[in-house]
Structure 1
């Protein structure tokens, strides 16, 4: 066999094999189209479309490390300091409807006193549309001045509630019906309760204000609170006053109290807030309350809080408080906190 015959034979064999492979060729399927996450800017920063839907979702939260020092009311730790860590994550879903944005919020919180003593809880979960909100959420009584000294809110401010709130950029007013199962209660009773609260507030230039009231039907007492802030000089002056007709789930620390603070913006990153509060007929923060405030002594409290922004979304806070009640021992407490928000 000469070279020419060998080449012709090889070419013929290759043609046969190629034809067989062509007949059995595997054709790759077209890849499924991938829908990438799209930014949703209709409700502010941080939202994105849930793939395949027109619902916008935002995920945010914070990680907190805190060391409490001194007398810790209600604490289980016998030492004079205690380190705790918290992780909190919030899911906010929004979509457009003919009634305006339909909002759903879920907040989960995880707390660790140590490696084995840990708790998790549903911190909030509610539906909001056209000013109507229903679910588990914090009441207006959870609000306060910017420092850590003021004690002008409820013992428990998180309730299963339904409320309607009308609001504009500079004003809001609303009515809320609250289940107060975990509120305060009189001796020989259990907390199984309902209350009605109203809230209104707004701002006008450098001045902001809020008025909150609530009536506790089981305890047959109510409370009203007013507070306001105004920018003066290098800081913001805050004033608040609260009155309670008797111990109830909206306010039970005292029959009345006044509080003041001045939040000094020392630099773009540093805020220093000295504050003071005075209580008339002081009781304290327990859930089991007396029938009334008669015969109780007064108390006063002074404190200092320092906030510092280390970098964007990373903050440090230190606070110290001194409380001196007529009917009890004075106490000093405080904490140091590091918090990373996202």
Structure 2
């Protein structure tokens, strides 16, 4: 009987301890509620709300590996490889004055051991990280460092329709959807004129330029007319780009003219370009193109040469998988009183 009483007492003690532990678990403090990230669909895909705010945020960019080829592409070598990293931060908020946007784009080039973030006349990119773009935008007003309309071009890699397109600027654009018009005041600082074939002429002083443009889109046809005036050189240029969906691809035509060498266009006195981007499959696009230059290259600070030139080539774009693409471009270039050459590149790019 004593042993039986001892066993019953032990079981009762264990039950009491277990009951105490269960009671403790019931009265334990509950965890703080978690605030989940909310998707922001007001400005397109990829945006989400910064927790605790009404500001939408999006990250993007790409990693690129590319090998260029052409005469003296890197010193006396006819080829040069480099790697580029682009990281972009895009923030947007709805306000009573319209959408408020802040954008920062960081770019890093890894080409050689040289600590330089800009391309040299030989095409070498050096190595370094720098701010590619940074701007504030509210409604149609945009201020900061960003790409001008002169950065736009045809979709292939056989055209050369601008000289400089990245400035610190103040710009206003009226956008009605199918029609837009805008004007930009640009700081022209450290501008290089000319090209790698005929040499460069640099401006070291800060100067001012004005660029303006209009554009329209009607069904499968798009038009863009832009102009730029360099007040220091007292020269300007004007350019028209037109594209139209025809058959299995898109036809692109462009013409550009300059009154003399200026910050926006100093490649030649005039030029015409054409291409046809063939959508062969959902993943493959083949774009043959050509351009003819009148009075190609500079022979002095302001004057173009008497030599004409032309270029013809093909660009192949292939989407390997979602976020990964390849591009191959090959061009043949010929100039009066000069040597012809073949140039191009092979590129692999991971975008996100």
TM over 0.5, shorter chain: yes
Contact 1:296 1:327 in 2 (8 A): no
Contact 2:192 2:202 in 1 (8 A): no
Q: CA deviation at 1:291?
A: 3.6
Task: State the match for 1:238 in structure 2.
Answer: 252
1:328 aligns with 2:338: yes
1:181 aligns with 2:179: no
Contact 2:191 2:203 in 1 (8 A): no
Instruction: Identify if the C-alpha distance between structure 1 residues 303 and 187 changes in structure 2 by more than 3 Å, giving closer, same or farther.
Output: closer
TM-score where L is the length of structure 1: 0.88
Instruction: Identify if the C-alpha distance between structure 1 residues 86 and 7 changes in structure 2 by more than 3 Å, giving closer, same or farther.
Output: same
Contact 1:184 1:191 in 2 (8 A): no
Q: Which runs of 5+ in 2 are unaligned?
A: 115-125, 194-199
Instruction: Identify if the C-alpha distance between structure 1 residues 9 and 66 changes in structure 2 by more than 3 Å, giving closer, same or farther.
Output: closer
Q: Which runs of 5+ in 1 are unaligned?
A: none
TM-score where L is the length of structure 2: 0.86
Contact 2:89 2:103 in 1 (8 A): yes
* 1:141 pairs with one of 146, 150, 159: 150
What secondary structure, in the 3-state scheme, does the structure 2 residue paired with 1:141 have?
Answer: helix
Instruction: Identify if the C-alpha distance between structure 1 residues 71 and 294 changes in structure 2 by more than 3 Å, giving closer, same or farther.
Output: closer
1:12-51 correspondence to structure 2 within 5 Å:
28-51=28-51
Instruction: Identify if the C-alpha distance between structure 1 residues 33 and 317 changes in structure 2 by more than 3 Å, giving closer, same or farther.
Output: same
Query: Aligned pair count?
Result: 335
1:94-119 per-residue CA deviation (whole Å, 9 max, x = no partner) reads: 11100111111111111111577521
Task: State the match for 1:205 in structure 2.
Answer: 219
Instruction: Identify if the C-alpha distance between structure 1 residues 33 and 303 changes in structure 2 by more than 3 Å, giving closer, same or farther.
Output: same
Q: CA deviation at 1:192?
A: 2.0
Separation in 1 of the partners of 2:317 and 2:304? 39
Separation in 2 of the partners of 1:268 and 1:188? 44
Separation in 2 of the partners of 1:260 and 1:241? 9
Task: State the match for 1:303 in structure 2.
Answer: 313
Separation in 2 of the partners of 1:49 and 1:78? 51
What secondary structure, in the 3-state scheme, does the structure 2 residue paired with 1:71 have?
Answer: strand
Q: CA deviation at 1:197?
A: 0.4
Separation in 2 of the partners of 1:14 and 1:265? 77
Q: CA deviation at 1:252?
A: 0.3
RMSD (Å) for aligned C-alpha atoms: 2.9
Separation in 2 of the partners of 1:190 and 1:159? 14
1:194 aligns with 2:208: yes
Task: State the match for 2:166 in structure 1.
Answer: 158
Task: State the match for 2:63 in structure 1.
Answer: 63
Task: State the match for 2:94 in structure 1.
Answer: 96
